[in-house]
Amino acid sequence: MNTRVVQQILPARSSRDGDGVRIQRVVGQRQHDMDPFLMLDEIRSDDQADYVGGFPPHPHRGIETLTYMLSGGFVHEDDFGNRGELRNGGAQWMSSGRGIIHSEMPLIHEGLLHGFQLWINLPAAHKLKAPEYRQATAEELPLITLENGATLRVFGGSWQLDGRTLGSPLDSMAAAARSLDLHLPAATALRLELPASDTLLAYVYEGALEVGSTIQKGQLVRFSTGEQVTLTAGKQGVRLLLLAGTPLGEPIVQHGPFVMNTEAEIRQAIADYHAGSLSNTH
């Protein structure tokens, strides 16, 4: 089997989004070599000034979002009447399809807020489908402890491990996208097999990861293609998000919250939003 190696290492960069929310942006929308992933943000602060403004109502078309919380929480509301409270260890998935307007506001006003949001590109054939929303609590997400003390929480899609399928109830993501929260104790390792051509990313949020190169806290690694990868924890252990998905290989044209395949489709999305018809079919 071909073993994956480090292809690229990227640092998270401080930014603000929504109503002044301080974030660490790990993957930006124009990272074509991350296909099908468009964006990964980490929010992590115990200063309410960094997050209290939240993300007031805003539109999307052509993408899916997957949000995963470690501490604190958000409440999601959208123009289709969906409402969901996302709390410690839980996740929520939203497929914007042809259009949705939603808000994500913090459930706490003091203490630590720590979580992640991933944007996944929708294939051209699904960009104008009906929007969808689902959520799962921490208790509903598979949490596996291995003999070496490693823990895996699958919060999106499904993974194969030693002949077992570990599946999240959030299982309808585009491009076979899947995600897990992996904790490896010091000097332990995990070997995974996956389709050779899939995109594979790992973002370290605690400790350090050894993969031929040392990946530090706040860094993302993009791996080469290959049928297997071995992840080894550093001396202090490691906590990371592991993301995999099938590249779509389609043109990407992005304007803020709209991600389509052509400039004309972007212009149409903007016009529909201003006309109040973002969710209508054409």
- Residues 68-84 have pLDDT tens digits of 999 999 999 999 999 99
**Is-contact 6 231, C-beta < 8 A?**
no
Instruction: Report whether 60 belongs to an annotated binding site.
Output: yes
Q: Is 102 annotated as belonging to a binding site?
A: yes
Segment 48-66 mean pLDDT: 97
- Would you list the domain boundaries of the chain? 7-245
Q: Which CATH class is domain 7-245?
A: mainly beta
b/e code 84-119 from CB counts within 10 Å (16+ = b): bebbebbbbbbbbbbbbbbbbbbeeeeeebbbbbbb
pLDDT tens-digit readout, 170-196:
999 999 999 999 999 998 999 999 999
30 band by pLDDT with thresholds 50, 70 and 90: low
DSSP β-bridge partners for residue 117: 41, 67
Q: Residue 104, annotated ligand binder?
A: yes
Q: pLDDT-based confidence at 282, cuts 50/70/90?
A: very low
